[in-house]
Amino acid sequence: MSTEERVALVTGGSGGIGRAVVERLAADGIAVAVHYAGHRDRAEQVVDAITGSGGRALAVGGDVADEVAMAAAFDAVVDAFGGLDVVVNTAGIMLLSPIATLDLADLDRMHRTNVRGTFVVSQLAANRLRRGGALVNVSTTVTRTQLPTYGAYAASKAAVEGMTLILARELRGRDITVNAVAPGPTATPLFLDGKDEATVRALAQASPLERLGTPADAAEMIAFLAGPGRWVNGQVLFVNGGFA
């Protein structure tokens, strides 16, 4: 599938998996909007790197759970590039605790970003994507592995999977694919924060490939769904090296 003149918006695109996705899509010749919530400088660094290499990119900001702010971000992308073909929703937070002792304020924070934020972005994508477009949300392998302390986070991502699969059916006749990618343990600041070396080593060895995933591993699958993977629709794809 030709990616000529295709345009993508990547939420959380200034770091981690989001940045890897931005760089991968830009390498495919797609114009990319790098979304940020609180790190405009990092987003602009990514934009500068892409435009410096001859690509097309811009930075757009906004709280993913704020429908007004995100509508303005979508408008900015369409105004700059003439349309929108791909939305990748990598923005998310992970706060770990046993369910019995979880601070409910942390539950609300994750719900706002991971659930409401994904819903807001998915709703906007459903109304803005052109024919032949693709929406890719991000879940997690922990929805299947049931690791202790991940209960609230896994619950938020199970909600992401549910809305993704239903939206794919609701967009019948629009020629728009809707899928979710569920990475396993991936070497990002979000995953590594608060984990000691022994824990990280054990999680790496749990995969038959005996390593952690990289942001590029997830980005490769997302780029496939954003471009040539037109017959994959309404699916959750696990990118975890056989971890689960």
The residues carrying an active-site annotation are 153
Q: Which residue has the tokens 């660094």?
A: 45
- Give, for 22, the enclosing helix (H) or strand (E): helix 16-27
Chain centroid offset of residue 70 CA: 15
Of 229, 232, 219, the closest CA to residue 27 belongs to: 219
DSSP, res 129: P
Please, what is the end-to-end C-alpha distance for the chain in angstroms? Answer: 31
Look at the alpha carbons of 187, 95, 224, 39 in this order and tell me if their dihedral is positive or negative: negative
Q: How many CB atoms are closer than 10 A to CB 49?
A: 15
Instruction: Read off the tokens for 140.
Output: 């997690």
Of 202, 207, 213, the closest CA to residue 244 belongs to: 207
In order, the DSSP letters of 148-185 are: TT-HHHHHHHHHHHHHHHHHHHHTTTS--EEEEEEE-S
HSE of 198, CA atoms in CB hemisphere, 13 A: 0
- Who's near 52: CB < 8 A, 6+ residues apart? none
Please check whether residue 138 is in contact with residue 20, taking contact to mean a CB–CB distance below 8 angstroms. no
